[in-house]
């Protein structure tokens, strides 16, 4: 069964720092990996989607990399701002059929606090 | 339209009530999902509908009853819930892999 781990579980930094959030997964047979942001009590907002054949994706101050063979992804946040405070979740979509069809496997998230 | 819309945003219900959660998308996605999320935990899959047919039921208690009336709508009917069912219920949709998921903003359910 696919297991997804995120490190660190929590991160508190001053505004302006460049950040690294880590995600690892145990089974490299994936279609893609997706990074989400979740504000307290809210739904999930998709930040970046990386296909299994891709190495990285960028959107504004966010950059996500994927090393499928080693089962790792990293989310870089440049010049962090207080508005970046949220929980960041990574999720992998596995290859295969049957019980794995369509499902996402989530990590437990990194809770980020950026203070002014 | 690139959104998944969930209603209501908040719901308080007694253990003997019957209520329904609604989810709607107009992106042409043919897979729709219900997830349950407890505080400080990742979302847990409940049901998957693919082309309006139930394809995965994660051994969810029968007091939760999903329904997919058409390709744009997904309902979750609730009956005789327990306080431990209080959670954020998230709906999502996707195209077949390798496309990504789109989540709704969720329904915060409190069972009293």
Burial B14-52 (b: 16+ CB within 10 A, else e): eeeeebebebbbeeebebbbbbbbeeeebbebbbbbbeb
pLDDT of res. A97? 63
* Shortest CA gap B63–chain A (Å): 22
Residue A105 scores a pLDDT above 80: yes
Range with the poorest average pLDDT among A96-105, A107-116, B101-110? A96-105
Q: What is the pLDDT of residues B3-48, one digit of tens each?
A: 999 999 999 999 999 999 999 999 999 999 999 999 989 999 999 9
pLDDT of res. B96? 75
Whether B11 and chain A come into contact, CB under 8 Å, resolves to no
| Cβ contact B56–A101 (<8 Å) | yes
pLDDT of res. A37? 98
Residue A99 scores a pLDDT above 60: no
Contact A107, A89 (CB under 8 A): yes
Q: What is the DSSP string of B31-98?
A: EEEEEEE-TTS--EEEEEEETTEEEEE-S--TTEEEEEEETTEEEEEEES--GGG-EEEEEEEEPSTT
Chain B, nearest residue to A44 by Cα? B103
| Cβ contact A102–B102 (<8 Å) | no
| Cβ contact A93–B98 (<8 Å) | yes
Chain A, nearest residue to B45 by Cα? A103
| Cβ contact B43–A42 (<8 Å) | no
| Cβ contact B43–A103 (<8 Å) | no
Q: What residues contact B9, with CB distance under 8 A and at least 6 apart? A: B105, B106, B107, B108
Q: What is the pLDDT of residues A27-69, one digit of tens each?
A: 999 999 999 999 998 999 999 999 999 999 999 999 999 999 9
Give the span between the Cα atoms of B21 and B85, in whole angstroms. 14
Contact B32, B92 (CB under 8 A): yes
Chain A residues 17-46 within an 8 A CB cutoff of chain B: 31-32, 34, 36, 41-46
């Amino acid at each position: 069964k696919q297991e997804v781990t995120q490190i660190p579980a929590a991160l508190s930094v001053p505004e302006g720092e460049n950040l690294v959030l880590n995600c690892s997964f145990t089974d490299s047979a994936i279609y893609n990996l997706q990074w989400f942001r979740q504000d307290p009590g809210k739904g999930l907002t998709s930040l970046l989607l990386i296909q299994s054949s891709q190495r990285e994706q960028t959107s504004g101050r966010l950059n996500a990399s994927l090393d499928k063979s080693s089962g790792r992804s990293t989310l870089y946040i440049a010049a962090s701002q207080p508005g970046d405070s949220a929980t960041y979740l990574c999720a992998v979509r596995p290859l295969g059929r049957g019980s794995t069809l369509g499902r996402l496997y989530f990590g437990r998230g990194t809770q980020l606090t950026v203070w002014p | 339209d690139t959104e998944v819309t969930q209603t209501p945003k908040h719901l308080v219900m007694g253990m003997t009530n019957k209520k329904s959660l609604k989810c709607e998308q107009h992106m042409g996605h043919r897979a729709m999902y219900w997830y349950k999320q407890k505080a400080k935990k990742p979302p847990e899959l409940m049901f998957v509908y693919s082309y309006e047919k139930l394809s995965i039921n994660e051994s969810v208690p029968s007091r939760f009853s999903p329904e997919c009336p058409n390709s744009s709508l997904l309902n979750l009917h609730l009956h005789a819930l327990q306080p431990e069912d209080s959670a954020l219920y998230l709906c999502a949709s996707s195209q077949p892999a390798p496309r990504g998921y789109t989540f709704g903003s969720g329904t915060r359910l409190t069972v009293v």
